[in-house]
Chains A and B, each alone.
Chain A
């Protein structure tokens, strides 16, 4: 046994309202840069739907993840090492921009610059790739809320599969039956196929917390990881020529803060915590023959943090005491293994994903309510779960490699919790037959209710900090003093702004501060390469770029009443 710690996430899909706040805040924090316009470390998909990039779950086409070869050995679906190297000059299976979408902006300037006339000025869409006028045909959530399902619905690979297997020609009854949202980030897998696909060895898993990262210095842009990841959560930055992926907000997690997507989640549906797992058992677990048994195998890899033997092993591996304690209080462990209501996304890819999902009961409840039944009565709910095969089978394809019984069991637990707690809040005596019907006792069910429904901040996020005695080694502080040329050298980028080592913020700030104190003029273009550092702006003068450029003083156009012309582009559009 080799105990390792892994940060994990659970998302309770019943609570997701599809507001995309997680996606937006994530994008603001991480991918708000040139080259990553199309990159969504976090995206929210409406299911049934094609997902992002389109039809990424069709592994017959995209060749992501692992499979077992004829001898039962775990191999990359896209091929072994030699095959990968031979295909390196033009990656054989790689999504193109058209499988994502062509990012765009709008020509906002015409809204304020257009001469007075009878027609309303229009901000035309401009491609961020070519700079030309473009026609918007798709985006990261084009089929949001089943928009266009009658046109595109059948393209969902899971719809295809469920239809094929059930063999009855379901006219697109899905949109009348159910719909739910699926927020997705990198799965930070225990057996990551992106990592195994990387020819350079640039993708690595952190020993301490299992977060999977791309070493931006070591990445050479061979793009095999994009093929390798079955969730298509590795993106190619087309400006820097490097792969980028969700970082699990490691700078935040290191200091005990939840990830940006979790922190800003309106529905508070995300849980963060530690798993302890047996690293030596991962390969064997991922090699289980029957895909439907992968879930059980994955469960067996997760170790019980309350087991003294596991704790002793963890200590022997050098896992700090407070981390072991955090693992015992871990909400993700509780949801995944104690209550067994959280399921992994597509276990059949054999990557051992570590972002888990509580499948949504709401489609069932909504349907009962719409039909005039009591949607919180245990009997009604149990009956409906059994009767409503379509959502259950769909969920099973997502979370249990098609094992509908497993999904049914989880949904029944959720139904039982709802029904049991309704009885209590109505002032009735707790009906212990309800939890017993799903193999739980009243006490456990109440604890599960507290974690899932009350969901206090400190119970949702149990994130042990990186250790204080090693804090000087954390990201910025560790390298700023060692940074080549330290405080002093700047601008070492003969190959343009995307080359050279990134200047640590501390060094940049030091230089900007020194320049400001010694130069006597306002900080400008030269020190920060055209960017504005507001932290260093002391209010004297206006650095270049602080305000948009003023229009050339030719003929003053007819001034429209009201509205500051200079700042209108950002706020003036409908």
Chain B
């Protein structure tokens, strides 16, 4: 482990710290990954955005992009804050003040946008009859945890605004702990030294990831980035796909081996020999 200079100032690591910052993250990871694998394997049919745009789109058209794009910015911010070490940003000449101002401005805007988006989405969900009818208990639980994670996250950001210069530098506590998790040597002491607001945000965040695979949030893990690369026209043959997966709804068995040999490993959406169409349309 890598004790940071403040370690002497903070109380000793308690059993609760070990549980929360040493064990819980790994439990969360196991549930998240295991849950995703399990759901992908057994519940592809339930793996969808469950869009409610059919019922209402006026509010959705504002709220949903606001929330989603805000969230993407928030995720990018987390990446900068947690993954990139402070030493690196200082090495490229970024001062602590500049970094913080940036984080506060961009992070604040993104966070407020995300929060505004989700509040508007919840308002829409509650007040639009058909949308509320289509809301499950699972959705409601998810909304509570998701909103809590955003609110507490925003709190950590805003708190540091008011504390100004003397605010907490999470890049010396939370971030090293976060990175240390990936080398299986959790820096519990660093995380334990962070203020309560960060603890709360982290805990709610972990709760969010725990329920993630079991809620409609899973759609995020199948963000269709491969759309940028796949051919426009998709052919599938039952024969060809037979070995790959047998129970897919699919096509008639009518082709001879001449058409199918040597193509068993292809993806379902890969083209069947109409390359000119695909490359031209790409």
Contact = CB atoms under 8 A, between A and B. Distances in A.
B50 interface: yes
Contacts, number: 239
Interface stretch (A17-25, A41-49, A80-88): A80-88
B277 A283 contact: yes
A221 B47 CA distance: 9
Contact of A96 (B45, B55, B249, B253): B55
B228 interface: yes
B69 interface: yes
A231 to B, nearest CB: 17
A250 B252 contact: yes
Given A195-B232, A320-B254, A501-B45, A238 B219 contact: no
A229 to B, nearest CB: 14
Contacts of A502: 45
Nearest to B216: A241
A490 B233 CA distance: 36
B127 interface: no
B65 A90 contact: yes
Interface stretch (B3-11, B25-33, B131-139, B149-157): B131-139
Nearest to B260: A318
A74 B237 CA distance: 26
A82 B282 CA distance: 11
Report the interface size class on chain A: 35 or more
A120 interface: no
Given A204-B268, A209-B252, A132 B129 contact: yes
A213 B235 CA distance: 10
Interface of A is mostly: loop
B69 A89 contact: yes
Contacts of B168: none
B237 to A, nearest CB: 4
A216 to B, nearest CB: 6
B43 A223 contact: no
Assign chain B's interface to a size class.
35 or more
A431 interface: no
Interface stretch (B13-21, B95-103, B106-114, B239-247): B239-247
The 6 A-B pairs with the shortest beta carbon distances in the complex, nearest first, are: A499-B46, A470-B253, A206-B251, A199-B224, A479-B247, A201-B269
Interface of B: 42-57, 60-62, 64-65, 67-69, 129-130, 133-134, 136, 138, 214, 219, 222, 224-228, 230, 232-240, 242, 246-260, 268-269, 272-274, 276-277, 280-281
30 contacts: A73-B280, A82-B228, A85-B227, A88-B224, A89-B68, A89-B69, A97-B130, A191-B233, A192-B233, A203-B234, A208-B237, A208-B252, A209-B254, A215-B249, A215-B268, A221-B48, A240-B48, A250-B252, A253-B252, A279-B274, A279-B277, A280-B274, A318-B256, A319-B255, A320-B255, A470-B253, A473-B238, A473-B246, A475-B249, A492-B42
